[in-house]
Amino acid sequence: MSLSITARVGLVGVGLMGHGIATNVLKAGYPLVFLDHPGNRPVDDLRAGGAEPRVTGAAVAQASDVIILCVTGTPQVEDVLFREDGILAGMKPGGIIVDCSTAIASSTREIAGRVAAAGGRFMDAAMTRTPKEAEEGRLNLIVGAPEDLFAEVLPLLQSYAENIVHAGPVGAGHELKLLHNFVSLGFSAVFAEAAAAARKAGVADGPFLEVLGKGGAAGVVFDRLRPFMETGDIEGFRFSLSNGLKDLSYYNTMVEELGAQHAMATAARAMYAQVVEGGHGNDPVPELISILAADL
C-alpha cells in the first residue's frame, strides 16, 4: 500500500531546504500545512499554492497524516515532537513522522520508540545536496525505515527527491548521512587547507584547480568548491561552518559509540571548531579557503 495523493502533509521547518520540499510537495498535489515560525523563509508562494500555516506543532499534526521534519538536528527534533504543544500532542493514531534532519542514530532510535509508544510511526530520511536541488525537487534521501513503511511513503518522498536509498531499519539513514557528511566536510577541510597553502606558496588558483580537478580531487565536492575560488560564488555549497561543526560532532559521537577509529574525524572537527569559535560560524563552507589563507 502507498500513500494516496489526498494524504495530508504537514511540514515543520520551512528553511533553506524545507522551502524546496514544501514547493514540490504542493506541485505533486498533496494538501500541505506548515508550522508558522520566525525561522521560515518567505512563504507567500506556498500560501498562494494552497499551503496553510498552523501556530503549533500539535495543530500541524491534527491536520496531517504525514509530518515532515526539516529541522537542524536531534535537540530540535525532540523539541518539536515532545514539547507540550508539539507534534505528539496532536498526532493521529498511525500518523507518520518523516525526520529529514541530521542526527545521532542512537537518539533517533529512542525517538522512534517514543513515537511508536504514542501510536505513531517514524522514519529517518536524511537529505544530501543543496537548497538549489531542494527547490528543483532533486534531493538525495537516505532512509531508515521498516520495508512496509518505506514502500508506503515512497511516492511522497519521490515528489521532492531524485535519488532515494533505503539504508535499512530506523536509524540507518542517519548513520549513513553522517558517514557521507564526514567524507564531504572532511574533503572540504583538506581541500581548503591545500588551497590556503598554495596561495601562500604563490601558486595561482587557475593551475591549482586545473591540476587537482584533473587528478585526485575530482568529484562532486570539488565541483562545489571550485566556483568560490574562481569567482567567489558560494551558491553551490550554501552550508554553514557551524552546521559543519554540528555534523562532525555528531559523527564523532557516533564512531565513539561504535568504538570505530576516528583520528581524521577528530582533526576535521577541531578545524571547524576553531573557525566557528573565531566568529565564522555563519560563513558557508567554501569560505574556509579564505579563512585559512588569512591564518584564521
Give yes or no for a contact between 102 and 178, defined as CB atoms under 8 angstroms apart: yes
Apex 133 CA angle, 130 and 134, nearest 5: 85
In the set 177, 200, 214, 246, the catalytic residue is: 177
The C-alpha cell at 107 is 537518539
- Find the length of the chain: 296
State how far the Cα of 233 lies from the Cα of 235, in Å rounded to an integer. Answer: 6
State how far the Cα of 232 lies from the Cα of 229, in Å rounded to an integer. Answer: 6
**Three-class SS state of 72:** coil
Q: Is 177 a catalytic residue?
A: yes
Give yes or no for a contact between 83 and 59, defined as CB atoms under 8 angstroms apart: no
The C-alpha cell at 112 is 522512534
Give yes or no for a contact between 28 and 60, defined as CB atoms under 8 angstroms apart: no
The C-alpha cell at 140 is 538525495
The string of DSSP letters for 84-146 reads TTSHHHHPPTT-EEEE-S---HHHHHHHHHHHHHTT-EEEEEEEES-HHHHHHT-EEEEEE--
Q: Supply the residues annotated as catalytic.
A: 177
